[in-house]
Protein backbone atom coordinates (compact mmCIF):
# COMPACT_ATOMS: atom_id res chain seq x y z
CA UNK A 1 0.00 0.00 0.00
CA UNK A 2 1.17 3.50 -0.85
CA UNK A 3 1.03 6.15 1.88
CA UNK A 4 2.09 9.51 0.48
CA UNK A 5 3.00 12.63 2.44
CA UNK A 6 0.46 14.83 0.61
CA UNK A 7 -2.69 14.29 -1.44
CA UNK A 8 -3.17 17.29 -3.73
CA UNK A 9 -5.63 15.42 -5.97
CA UNK A 10 -8.24 14.98 -3.21
CA UNK A 11 -7.53 18.46 -1.86
CA UNK A 12 -8.13 20.12 -5.21
CA UNK A 13 -11.22 18.13 -6.19
CA UNK A 14 -13.14 18.96 -9.36
CA UNK A 15 -15.84 21.09 -7.71
CA UNK A 16 -13.12 23.23 -6.13
CA UNK A 17 -11.30 23.50 -9.46
CA UNK A 18 -14.48 24.64 -11.13
CA UNK A 19 -14.98 27.47 -8.64
CA UNK A 20 -11.35 28.53 -9.05
CA UNK A 21 -11.59 28.50 -12.84
CA UNK A 22 -14.75 30.61 -12.81
CA UNK A 23 -13.00 33.18 -10.64
CA UNK A 24 -9.88 33.09 -12.82
CA UNK A 25 -12.00 33.77 -15.88
CA UNK A 26 -13.68 36.68 -14.13
CA UNK A 27 -10.33 38.16 -13.10
CA UNK A 28 -8.74 37.73 -16.52
CA UNK A 29 -11.75 39.39 -18.15
CA UNK A 30 -11.66 42.27 -15.70
CA UNK A 31 -7.92 42.87 -15.97
CA UNK A 32 -7.79 43.44 -12.18
CA UNK A 33 -4.66 41.34 -11.58
CA UNK A 34 -3.22 43.07 -8.55
CA UNK A 35 -5.01 43.31 -5.19
CA UNK A 36 -8.62 42.82 -6.23
CA UNK A 37 -11.85 41.92 -4.48
CA UNK A 38 -10.66 38.42 -3.50
CA UNK A 39 -7.68 39.94 -1.67
CA UNK A 40 -10.03 42.19 0.28
CA UNK A 41 -12.52 39.41 1.01
CA UNK A 42 -9.86 36.96 2.14
CA UNK A 43 -8.07 39.51 4.32
CA UNK A 44 -11.33 40.50 6.01
CA UNK A 45 -12.39 36.92 6.78
CA UNK A 46 -8.91 35.78 7.81
CA UNK A 47 -8.56 38.69 10.27
CA UNK A 48 -12.00 38.13 11.75
CA UNK A 49 -11.42 34.34 12.10
CA UNK A 50 -8.37 35.16 14.22
CA UNK A 51 -10.14 38.00 16.08
CA UNK A 52 -7.59 40.49 14.78
CA UNK A 53 -8.17 43.95 13.33
CA UNK A 54 -6.23 43.36 10.12
CA UNK A 55 -4.79 40.62 7.94
CA UNK A 56 -2.43 41.59 5.14
CA UNK A 57 -1.72 39.23 2.27
CA UNK A 58 1.90 39.23 1.10
CA UNK A 59 3.91 37.26 -1.45
CA UNK A 60 5.08 34.45 0.87
CA UNK A 61 5.71 33.49 4.50
CA UNK A 62 9.35 34.59 4.46
CA UNK A 63 8.38 38.09 3.31
CA UNK A 64 5.78 38.18 6.08
CA UNK A 65 8.60 37.67 8.59
CA UNK A 66 10.99 40.10 6.92
CA UNK A 67 8.41 42.86 6.62
CA UNK A 68 7.33 42.36 10.24
CA UNK A 69 10.92 42.87 11.38
CA UNK A 70 11.43 45.84 9.08
CA UNK A 71 8.20 47.52 10.20
CA UNK A 72 9.51 47.36 13.76
CA UNK A 73 12.77 48.98 12.76
CA UNK A 74 14.95 45.88 13.23
CA UNK A 75 18.16 46.40 11.30
CA UNK A 76 21.97 46.41 11.40
CA UNK A 77 23.36 46.10 14.94
CA UNK A 78 20.22 44.43 16.30
CA UNK A 79 19.89 40.80 17.26
CA UNK A 80 16.83 38.60 16.95
CA UNK A 81 16.26 35.42 18.97
CA UNK A 82 15.17 32.45 16.85
CA UNK A 83 14.51 28.85 17.96
CA UNK A 84 17.38 26.51 17.14
CA UNK A 85 15.03 24.19 15.28
CA UNK A 86 12.86 25.68 12.56
CA UNK A 87 12.73 25.94 8.81
CA UNK A 88 15.71 27.91 7.56
CA UNK A 89 13.54 30.84 6.42
CA UNK A 90 12.95 32.06 9.98
CA UNK A 91 16.66 32.85 10.34
CA UNK A 92 16.98 33.97 6.73
CA UNK A 93 14.43 36.74 7.33
CA UNK A 94 16.62 38.14 10.12
CA UNK A 95 19.73 38.26 7.93
CA UNK A 96 17.77 39.84 5.08
CA UNK A 97 17.08 42.72 7.45
CA UNK A 98 20.84 42.91 8.22
CA UNK A 99 20.31 41.86 11.84
CA UNK A 100 21.99 38.94 13.61
CA UNK A 101 20.41 35.67 14.70
CA UNK A 102 20.89 34.32 18.23
CA UNK A 103 19.65 30.77 18.70
CA UNK A 104 17.43 29.74 21.59
CA UNK A 105 17.31 26.06 22.51
CA UNK A 106 14.07 24.09 22.24
CA UNK A 107 12.10 22.00 24.73
CA UNK A 108 11.01 18.37 24.29
CA UNK A 109 8.04 19.47 22.14
CA UNK A 110 10.31 21.19 19.62
CA UNK A 111 9.34 24.72 20.72
CA UNK A 112 11.52 27.64 21.83
CA UNK A 113 12.39 27.01 25.48
CA UNK A 114 11.57 29.93 27.85
CA UNK A 115 14.48 29.01 30.20
CA UNK A 116 16.95 29.13 27.35
CA UNK A 117 15.37 32.39 26.18
CA UNK A 118 15.95 33.94 29.59
CA UNK A 119 19.64 33.03 29.52
CA UNK A 120 20.09 34.16 25.93
CA UNK A 121 18.42 37.53 26.56
CA UNK A 122 20.80 38.15 29.48
CA UNK A 123 23.83 37.35 27.34
CA UNK A 124 22.71 39.47 24.37
CA UNK A 125 21.50 42.95 25.31
CA UNK A 126 21.22 43.77 21.57
CA UNK A 127 18.22 41.41 21.15
CA UNK A 128 15.29 43.59 20.06
CA UNK A 129 12.85 40.95 18.92
CA UNK A 130 12.12 37.24 19.35
CA UNK A 131 10.59 35.02 16.67
CA UNK A 132 9.04 31.92 18.23
CA UNK A 133 7.74 29.36 15.72
CA UNK A 134 4.70 27.14 16.32
CA UNK A 135 6.76 24.29 14.98
CA UNK A 136 4.87 21.32 13.52
CA UNK A 137 1.71 23.25 14.48
CA UNK A 138 2.32 22.69 18.21
CA UNK A 139 1.64 25.91 20.15
CA UNK A 140 4.80 27.61 21.39
CA UNK A 141 4.37 28.90 24.98
CA UNK A 142 3.91 32.57 24.03
CA UNK A 143 2.78 33.73 27.46
CA UNK A 144 5.94 32.26 29.01
CA UNK A 145 8.02 34.30 26.56
CA UNK A 146 6.01 37.40 27.48
CA UNK A 147 6.86 36.77 31.16
CA UNK A 148 10.57 36.36 30.38
CA UNK A 149 10.56 39.62 28.41
CA UNK A 150 8.68 41.44 31.14
CA UNK A 151 11.16 40.18 33.74
CA UNK A 152 14.03 41.45 31.59
CA UNK A 153 12.57 44.96 31.77
CA UNK A 154 13.51 45.50 28.12
CA UNK A 155 11.53 46.58 25.12
CA UNK A 156 11.55 43.38 23.06
CA UNK A 157 8.90 42.57 20.49
CA UNK A 158 7.49 39.16 19.60
CA UNK A 159 6.87 38.12 15.99
CA UNK A 160 5.18 34.73 15.91
CA UNK A 161 6.18 32.61 12.93
CA UNK A 162 2.91 30.80 12.32
CA UNK A 163 3.89 29.30 8.96
CA UNK A 164 2.87 25.86 10.31
CA UNK A 165 0.26 27.08 12.78
CA UNK A 166 -2.94 27.43 10.81
CA UNK A 167 -5.77 25.61 12.61
CA UNK A 168 -4.02 25.30 15.98
CA UNK A 169 -4.89 26.76 19.37
CA UNK A 170 -2.80 28.31 22.14
CA UNK A 171 -2.14 26.29 25.28
CA UNK A 172 -1.35 27.83 28.68
CA UNK A 173 -3.65 30.04 30.72
CA UNK A 174 -3.62 33.48 29.11
CA UNK A 175 -4.60 32.61 25.53
CA UNK A 176 -6.01 29.15 26.22
CA UNK A 177 -8.41 27.89 23.56
CA UNK A 178 -7.79 30.89 21.29
CA UNK A 179 -6.64 30.41 17.73
CA UNK A 180 -2.92 30.59 17.01
CA UNK A 181 -2.57 34.07 15.57
CA UNK A 182 -5.00 35.75 17.97
CA UNK A 183 -2.43 36.99 20.52
CA UNK A 184 -1.66 40.73 20.22
CA UNK A 185 1.73 40.17 18.52
CA UNK A 186 2.52 40.37 14.84
CA UNK A 187 1.79 36.87 13.57
CA UNK A 188 2.83 35.56 10.18
CA UNK A 189 1.55 32.71 8.00
CA UNK A 190 2.84 30.89 4.97
CA UNK A 191 0.40 29.59 2.38
CA UNK A 192 3.00 27.48 0.58
CA UNK A 193 1.01 24.70 -1.16
CA UNK A 194 1.86 22.01 1.41
CA UNK A 195 0.68 24.08 4.37
CA UNK A 196 -2.67 23.39 6.08
CA UNK A 197 -4.07 26.32 4.10
CA UNK A 198 -2.13 26.21 0.85
CA UNK A 199 -2.14 28.50 -2.18
CA UNK A 200 -1.54 27.62 -5.83
CA UNK A 201 2.05 28.73 -5.41
CA UNK A 202 3.48 31.22 -2.93
CA UNK A 203 1.59 33.50 -0.59
CA UNK A 204 1.68 34.57 3.04
CA UNK A 205 -0.04 36.85 5.53
CA UNK A 206 0.55 39.04 8.57
CA UNK A 207 -1.96 39.58 11.36
CA UNK A 208 -1.79 42.98 13.06
CA UNK A 209 -4.02 45.13 15.28
CA UNK A 210 -2.22 48.45 15.55
CA UNK A 211 -3.44 50.88 12.87
CA UNK A 212 -0.10 52.64 12.38
CA UNK A 213 1.79 49.35 12.13
CA UNK A 214 -0.78 48.04 9.65
CA UNK A 215 -0.37 51.09 7.41
CA UNK A 216 3.41 50.74 7.54
CA UNK A 217 3.24 47.04 6.62
CA UNK A 218 0.79 47.83 3.84
CA UNK A 219 3.22 50.40 2.45
CA UNK A 220 6.21 48.06 2.82
CA UNK A 221 4.54 45.35 0.75
CA UNK A 222 3.90 47.83 -2.07
CA UNK A 223 7.08 49.86 -2.71
CA UNK A 224 6.48 52.16 0.24
CA UNK A 225 3.30 53.55 -1.28
CA UNK A 226 0.45 54.95 0.78
CA UNK A 227 2.25 56.63 3.67
CA UNK A 228 2.87 60.35 3.84
CA UNK A 229 6.59 60.17 4.40
CA UNK A 230 8.03 58.06 1.59
CA UNK A 231 9.79 54.88 2.73
CA UNK A 232 11.58 52.13 0.83
CA UNK A 233 9.44 49.06 0.58
CA UNK A 234 9.47 46.26 -1.92
CA UNK A 235 7.10 44.29 -4.06
CA UNK A 236 5.48 41.70 -1.84
CA UNK A 237 1.95 41.96 -3.14
CA UNK A 238 -0.25 38.90 -3.46
CA UNK A 239 -1.72 38.44 -6.95
CA UNK A 240 -5.47 38.59 -7.37
CA UNK A 241 -5.51 35.13 -9.02
CA UNK A 242 -3.68 33.73 -6.01
CA UNK A 243 -6.07 35.44 -3.60
CA UNK A 244 -9.03 33.94 -5.48
CA UNK A 245 -7.56 30.44 -5.15
CA UNK A 246 -6.94 31.01 -1.45
CA UNK A 247 -10.42 32.42 -0.93
CA UNK A 248 -12.03 29.27 -2.32
CA UNK A 249 -9.67 27.01 -0.35
CA UNK A 250 -10.56 29.03 2.72
CA UNK A 251 -14.24 28.05 2.40
CA UNK A 252 -13.33 24.38 2.93
CA UNK A 253 -10.34 24.56 5.22
CA UNK A 254 -12.21 23.97 8.50
CA UNK A 255 -13.56 20.68 7.17
CA UNK A 256 -10.08 19.55 6.09
CA UNK A 257 -8.61 20.72 9.38
CA UNK A 258 -11.15 18.60 11.27
CA UNK A 259 -10.21 15.57 9.15
CA UNK A 260 -6.53 16.23 9.80
CA UNK A 261 -7.19 16.27 13.55
CA UNK A 262 -9.14 13.01 13.34
CA UNK A 263 -6.18 11.40 11.56
CA UNK A 264 -3.87 12.65 14.33
CA UNK A 265 -6.11 11.19 17.04
CA UNK A 266 -6.21 7.84 15.26
CA UNK A 267 -2.42 7.87 15.04
CA UNK A 268 -2.18 8.63 18.74
CA UNK A 269 -4.38 5.65 19.54
CA UNK A 270 -2.62 3.29 17.14
CA UNK A 271 0.87 4.28 18.25
CA UNK A 272 -0.05 4.12 21.94
CA UNK A 273 1.09 0.50 22.20
CA UNK A 274 4.53 1.14 20.69
CA UNK A 275 6.60 2.21 23.66
CA UNK A 276 9.75 2.76 21.58
CA UNK A 277 8.08 5.72 19.87
CA UNK A 278 7.41 9.08 21.47
CA UNK A 279 4.68 11.22 19.86
CA UNK A 280 6.00 14.78 20.07
CA UNK A 281 2.51 16.33 20.20
CA UNK A 282 1.22 13.87 22.82
CA UNK A 283 0.24 16.62 25.27
CA UNK A 284 -1.16 18.83 22.50
CA UNK A 285 -3.75 16.55 20.91
CA UNK A 286 -6.45 19.23 21.34
CA UNK A 287 -4.35 22.24 20.35
CA UNK A 288 -1.86 21.31 17.62
CA UNK A 289 -2.67 22.25 14.02
CA UNK A 290 -1.06 18.93 13.07
CA UNK A 291 0.74 20.45 10.16
CA UNK A 292 3.23 17.62 10.73
CA UNK A 293 3.20 14.50 12.89
CA UNK A 294 6.69 14.17 14.39
CA UNK A 295 7.76 11.17 16.45
CA UNK A 296 11.02 10.62 18.33
CA UNK A 297 13.02 7.43 17.97
CA UNK A 298 15.68 6.18 20.39
CA UNK A 299 18.58 7.72 18.45
CA UNK A 300 19.74 8.82 15.02
CA UNK A 301 20.69 5.33 13.85
CA UNK A 302 17.24 3.99 14.66
CA UNK A 303 15.62 6.97 12.92
CA UNK A 304 17.40 6.31 9.63
CA UNK A 305 16.75 2.56 9.85
CA UNK A 306 13.05 3.25 10.46
CA UNK A 307 12.89 5.78 7.62
CA UNK A 308 14.43 3.23 5.22
CA UNK A 309 12.18 0.43 6.46
CA UNK A 310 9.04 2.54 5.92
CA UNK A 311 10.29 3.69 2.52
CA UNK A 312 10.53 0.05 1.43
CA UNK A 313 6.93 -0.35 2.51
CA UNK A 314 6.03 2.70 0.36
CA UNK A 315 5.28 4.88 3.37
CA UNK A 316 6.64 8.42 2.92
CA UNK A 317 8.26 10.13 5.89
CA UNK A 318 10.20 13.35 6.24
CA UNK A 319 13.22 14.44 8.22
CA UNK A 320 11.95 17.78 9.50
CA UNK A 321 14.55 18.86 10.61
CA UNK A 322 17.84 17.05 10.11
CA UNK A 323 20.00 19.58 11.97
CA UNK A 324 19.57 22.50 14.28
CA UNK A 325 20.15 25.85 12.56
CA UNK A 326 23.63 25.94 14.12
CA UNK A 327 24.71 23.35 11.54
CA UNK A 328 23.20 24.97 8.46
CA UNK A 329 26.21 26.17 6.46
CA UNK A 330 25.56 29.93 6.27
CA UNK A 331 24.77 29.96 10.00
CA UNK A 332 28.00 28.27 11.08
CA UNK A 333 29.38 30.04 14.14
CA UNK A 334 25.99 31.48 15.09
CA UNK A 335 25.67 32.45 18.76
CA UNK A 336 23.19 31.05 21.25
CA UNK A 337 22.09 27.73 22.70
CA UNK A 338 21.26 24.55 20.77
CA UNK A 339 22.54 21.49 22.69
CA UNK A 340 19.11 19.89 23.17
CA UNK A 341 18.08 20.92 19.64
CA UNK A 342 20.94 18.86 18.21
CA UNK A 343 19.81 15.78 20.12
CA UNK A 344 16.18 16.31 19.12
CA UNK A 345 17.06 16.59 15.42
CA UNK A 346 18.94 13.31 15.51
CA UNK A 347 15.80 11.52 16.71
CA UNK A 348 12.90 13.24 14.97
CA UNK A 349 10.99 11.71 12.05
CA UNK A 350 7.69 12.97 10.62
CA UNK A 351 5.02 10.45 9.67
CA UNK A 352 2.67 11.30 6.80
CA UNK A 353 -0.35 13.34 7.85
CA UNK A 354 -3.03 14.90 5.68
CA UNK A 355 -6.83 15.05 5.75
CA UNK A 356 -7.36 12.15 3.33
CA UNK A 357 -5.45 9.33 5.00
CA UNK A 358 -7.78 6.36 5.38
CA UNK A 359 -8.18 4.04 8.36
CA UNK A 360 -6.58 1.28 6.26
CA UNK A 361 -3.56 3.45 5.53
CA UNK A 362 -3.18 4.41 9.19
CA UNK A 363 -3.47 0.77 10.27
CA UNK A 364 -0.84 -0.08 7.69
CA UNK A 365 1.55 2.58 9.04
CA UNK A 366 0.99 1.36 12.60
CA UNK A 367 1.45 -2.32 11.72
CA UNK A 368 4.62 -1.46 9.77
CA UNK A 369 5.96 0.41 12.80
CA UNK A 370 5.11 -2.53 15.03
CA UNK A 371 6.85 -4.91 12.70
CA UNK A 372 9.96 -2.66 12.68
CA UNK A 373 10.06 -2.87 16.47
CA UNK A 374 9.27 -6.61 16.44
CA UNK A 375 5.99 -6.23 18.33
C1 LIG B 1 8.53 27.73 10.11
C2 LIG B 1 8.52 28.37 8.75
N3 LIG B 1 8.87 29.65 8.64
C4 LIG B 1 8.88 30.28 7.44
C5 LIG B 1 8.51 29.61 6.30
C6 LIG B 1 8.62 30.33 4.99
O7 LIG B 1 7.44 30.39 4.29
P8 LIG B 1 7.46 30.54 2.69
O9 LIG B 1 7.99 29.28 2.13
O10 LIG B 1 6.01 30.78 2.36
O11 LIG B 1 8.31 31.72 2.38
C12 LIG B 1 8.12 28.27 6.38
C13 LIG B 1 7.66 27.54 5.21
O14 LIG B 1 7.96 26.92 4.43
C15 LIG B 1 8.15 27.62 7.63
O16 LIG B 1 7.81 26.34 7.76
Tell me which architecture the domain covering 8-250 has in CATH.
3-Layer(aba) Sandwich (3.40)
The verdict on whether omega for the bond into residue 99 sits within 30 degrees of 0, i.e. cis, is no
Candidate of 6, 57, 62 to mutate for ligand 1, largest count of ligand atoms within 8 Å of Cβ: 62
Residue whose Cα lies nearest atom 12 of ligand 1: it is 163
Candidate of 58, 61, 92 to mutate for ligand 1, largest count of ligand atoms within 8 Å of Cβ: 61
pLDDT of residue 230: 82
CA distance 288 to 182: 15
Name every residue whose Cβ is closer than 8 Å to that of residue 137 and which is 6 or more positions away in sequence. 164, 165, 166, 167, 168, 196, 281, 288, 289, 290, 291, 292
Q: Say how far residue 52 (Cα) sits from the centre of its chain.
A: 18
CA distance 233 to 246: 24
pLDDT of residue 280: 98
Q: Report the DSSP pairing between strands 157-161 and 186-190.
A: parallel
pLDDT of residue 228: 85
Candidate of 94, 135, 190, 350 to mutate for ligand 1, largest count of ligand atoms within 8 Å of Cβ: 190
| Ligand 1 atom at minimal distance to the Cα of residue 65 | 4
Q: Report the DSSP pairing between strands 54-58 and 204-208.
A: antiparallel
8-250 and 253-372 in the same fold: no
Q: Where are the domains of the chain?
A: 8-250, 253-372
| Ligand 1 atom at minimal distance to the Cα of residue 60 | 10
Instruction: Kindly give the parts of the chain with pLDDT less than 50.
Output: none
Cα–ligand 1 centroid distance for 234 (angstroms): 19
Cβ(157)–Cβ(165) under 8 Å? Answer: no
Domain 253-372 has CATH 3.40.50.970: no
pLDDT of residue 337: 98
CA distance 274 to 292: 19
pLDDT of residue 366: 97
Amino acid sequence: MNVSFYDFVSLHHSEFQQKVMESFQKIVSSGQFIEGEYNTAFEKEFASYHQRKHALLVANGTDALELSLRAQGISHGDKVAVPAVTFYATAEAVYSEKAEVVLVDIDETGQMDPFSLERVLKQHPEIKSIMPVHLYGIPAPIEEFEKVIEKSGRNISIVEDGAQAFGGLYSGEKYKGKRLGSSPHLHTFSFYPTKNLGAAGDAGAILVDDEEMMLKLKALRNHGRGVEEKIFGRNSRCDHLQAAFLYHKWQEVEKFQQQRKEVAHQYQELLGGISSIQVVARNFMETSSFHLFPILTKDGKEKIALRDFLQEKKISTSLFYEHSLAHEMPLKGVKGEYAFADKFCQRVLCLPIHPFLTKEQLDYVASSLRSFYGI
